[in-house]
Structure 1
Amino acid sequence: MDEFSACNLDYLPENILIDVLSYLSVRELVRAGRVCKRWKRLVKDQRLWRLVDLTAWKGVRMLL
């Protein structure tokens, strides 16, 4: 269990977290935005949405 206690995503820079989040689907991103205030801010970041494939969500309005 000790190996998991040292893993803290708070120490990762935002650009790395945005790269990691870019692998999630839109539905998963919406869920990730509910984890904490920092992740909510990252999910709303325009740098992330430039990397996300939105073709499946064309015409759907999302409220974050």
Structure 2
Amino acid sequence: MDVCSDVKGKKSWPELVGTSGEIAASIIESEHEGVDAFIVEEGSFVSTDIRCDRVRVFIDDHGIVKEVPKIG
């Protein structure tokens, strides 16, 4: 079951994999009002709670997006 199924608009941004994390976060927030994008280094501890107003942007050591950013 998709907990965030009632969210309108995009729920993931596969086109941002391979781009700068800073740029990706900016694009996500500009395309989806009410969503905050958080940059997270790969391997960092993150909470397991699901929030429909959050997108985690996982980056590598060079600041490049490594996973598809998605709501949750």
TM-score, length-scaled by structure 1: 0.33
Report the structure, 1 or 2, having the larger helix content. 1
Larger RCO (CA under 8 A, 6+ residues apart): 2
TM-score, length-scaled by structure 2: 0.31
Report the structure, 1 or 2, having the larger strand content. 2
Larger radius of gyration: 1
